């Protein structure tokens, strides 16, 4: 089997799921300015220590997080087990820089795993390839390390980088051994010459697949997931960030590549107290349907605060998204590219036997689907199954596209069942 068909096989259920929850959580929730604060403000390990000493998430209850994710219609989750600051939410035997040694006093990853698994949500681990705490990670000459250009770190340039690589491999082995079945490992990220075999990526992937045969791996260890012959470490999916690729993601041969965009709910991954610039539920649903219509997944982020609470705004948005998903998730799960051009009124997704019209914008009585390669048996409003008329306006023949009369479907706006856009399901005639 080619690497591409193995990849397609492995990612089937991950692609079916389409919608996941990203969770950025760690010591940086305390200074509350996002997870890059150490680098942005060039904070030393010593000056960051108070956050370690006071990390006391008294409200940490991942069951609540898991219930929220479930309600929102998310089918998998990815938690930052270690971010760039090197702090581990899990009880690693290879470091003291872990939740167990803070006032939290326990393995927070284990509770996450148990809670999300109990809700039937697939388990993902984010693991930072960067580590601003480890003494063998290059500092002085690195372009993003908090201590870059700092004379006191002149000698920290990764002379014994192999020790860091071993540390990292050991930790990944722990994560993929001690918590049962792990569905996704999300390495982050490669830059400059810090890429691919610098991380001993081939060895890492082999280990991951040996420990967790079905695991899905992102593409940030390096290589090119879109090339004709991807490296073993190029991963299973492309991972655009804060953007939705114009045409989805395809490889050099034009074949679709699994992809997942990760997007924040406000402007930050880690908790940021001052950032109230949240997207609306409508924005989120638009993004989700855009991703699905282009054959991709949406990994939507929450940044719980230092006490372990997901911000109220995020809860409200996800709850509203969940209301829409309750009625319309059929247009999301297992759906993908419809092979019909983008239409002015919205987006189209497709399952094996139906088209789903996500009608964002309507004007007149009927909306047209032009250049449609399928025959229709009939249409309903997805939310309640009620009949939707499909009827050609009497003079439609005068207004063909590419020699064909479009399909016409009654516009759903006049019986909007909820505040957010409606979906029309078209049953396809497969004969």
- Site for ligand GLC, rule CB under 6 A: 24, 35-36, 188-189, 241, 262, 269
Contacts of 405 (CB under 8 A, 6+ apart): 392, 396, 397
For residue 394, what are the CA distances in angstroms to 398, 399, 405, 408? 9, 11, 11, 11
Considering beta carbons, is residue 35 or 174 the nearer one to ligand GLC? 35
For residue 246, what are the CA distances in angstroms to 208, 261, 372, 420? 32, 12, 21, 24
We find the least distance from the C-beta atom of residue 36 to ligand GLC, in angstroms, to be 6
- Nearest CA to 382 out of 320, 340, 344, 325 is that of 325
Considering beta carbons, is residue 299 or 340 the nearer one to ligand GLC? 299
Considering beta carbons, is residue 235 or 346 the nearer one to ligand GLC? 235
We find the least distance from the C-beta atom of residue 108 to ligand GLC, in angstroms, to be 17
Considering beta carbons, is residue 303 or 322 the nearer one to ligand GLC? 303
We find the least distance from the C-beta atom of residue 83 to ligand GLC, in angstroms, to be 6
User: What is the Cα 197 distance to its own chain's centre?
Assistant: 25
We find the least distance from the C-beta atom of residue 22 to ligand GLC, in angstroms, to be 7
We find the least distance from the C-beta atom of residue 229 to ligand GLC, in angstroms, to be 26
Considering beta carbons, is residue 35 or 305 the nearer one to ligand GLC? 35
Handedness of CA 111, 325, 290, 6 (dihedral sign): positive
Considering beta carbons, is residue 262 or 285 the nearer one to ligand GLC? 262
Considering beta carbons, is residue 42 or 163 the nearer one to ligand GLC? 42
We find the least distance from the C-beta atom of residue 132 to ligand GLC, in angstroms, to be 11
We find the least distance from the C-beta atom of residue 301 to ligand GLC, in angstroms, to be 8
We find the least distance from the C-beta atom of residue 377 to ligand GLC, in angstroms, to be 42
Q: What is the DSSP letter of 348?
A: E
Considering beta carbons, is residue 278 or 333 the nearer one to ligand GLC? 278
- Nearest CA to 25 out of 402, 311, 413 is that of 311
350-368 exposure pattern, b = at least 16 Cβ within 10 A, e = fewer: bbeebbbbbbbebeeebbb
Contacts of 213 (CB under 8 A, 6+ apart): none
Contacts of 196 (CB under 8 A, 6+ apart): 190, 221, 222, 223, 231, 233
CB 286 within 8 A of CB 346: no
């Amino acid at each position: 089997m080619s690497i591409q068909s193995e990849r397609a096989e492995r990612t089937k259920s991950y692609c079916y799921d389409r919608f996941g929850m990203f969770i950025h959580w760690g010591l940086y929730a305390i200074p509350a300015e996002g997870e890059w604060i150490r680098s942005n403000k060039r904070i030393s390990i010593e000056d960051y220590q108070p956050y370690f000493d006071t990390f006391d998430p008294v409200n940490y209850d991942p069951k609540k997080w898991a219930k929220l994710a479930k309600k929102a219609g998310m089918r998998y989750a990815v938690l930052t087990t270690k971010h760039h600051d090197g702090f581990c939410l899990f009880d690693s035997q290879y470091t003291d820089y872990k939740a167990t040694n803070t006032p939290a006093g326990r393995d927070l990853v284990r509770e996450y795993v148990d809670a999300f698994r109990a809700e039937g949500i697939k388990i993902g681990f984010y693991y930072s390839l960067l580590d601003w705490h480890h003494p063998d990670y290059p500092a002085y000459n690195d372009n993003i390390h908090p201590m870059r250009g700092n004379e006191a770190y002149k000698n920290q340039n990764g002379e014994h980088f192999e020790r860091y690589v071993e540390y990292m491999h050991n930790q990944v082995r722990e994560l993929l051994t001690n918590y049962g079945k792990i569905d996704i490992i999300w390495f982050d990220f490669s830059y400059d010459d810090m890429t691919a075999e610098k991380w001993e990526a081939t060895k890492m992937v082999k280990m991951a697949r040996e420990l967790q045969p079905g695991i899905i791996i992102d593409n940030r260890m390096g290589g090119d997931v879109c090339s004709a012959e991807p490296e073993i470490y190029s991963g299973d999916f492309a991972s655009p960030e804060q953007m939705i690729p114009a045409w989805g993601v395809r490889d050099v041969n034009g074949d679709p590549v699994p992809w997942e965009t990760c997007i924040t709910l406000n402007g930050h991954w880690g908790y940021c107290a001052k950032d109230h610039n949240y997207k609306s539920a409508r924005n989120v649903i638009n993004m989700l349907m855009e991703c699905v219509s282009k054959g991709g997944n949406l990994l939507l982020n929450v940044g719980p605060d230092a006490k372990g609470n997901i911000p109220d705004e995020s809860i409200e948005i996800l709850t509203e998204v969940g209301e829409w998903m309750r009625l319309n998730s059929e247009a999301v799960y297992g759906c993908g590219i419809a092979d019909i051009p983008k239409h002015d009124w919205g987006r189209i997704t497709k399952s094996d036997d139906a088209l789903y019209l996500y009608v964002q914008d309507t004007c007149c009585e009927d909306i047209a689907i032009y250049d449609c390669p399928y025959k229709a048996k009939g249409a309903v409003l997805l939310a309640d199954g009620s009949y939707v008329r499909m009827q050609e306006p009497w003079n439609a023949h005068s207004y063909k596209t590419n020699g064909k009369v479009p399909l016409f479907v009654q516009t759903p706006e006049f019986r909007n069942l909820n505040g957010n856009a409606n979906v029309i399901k078209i049953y396809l005639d497969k004969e």
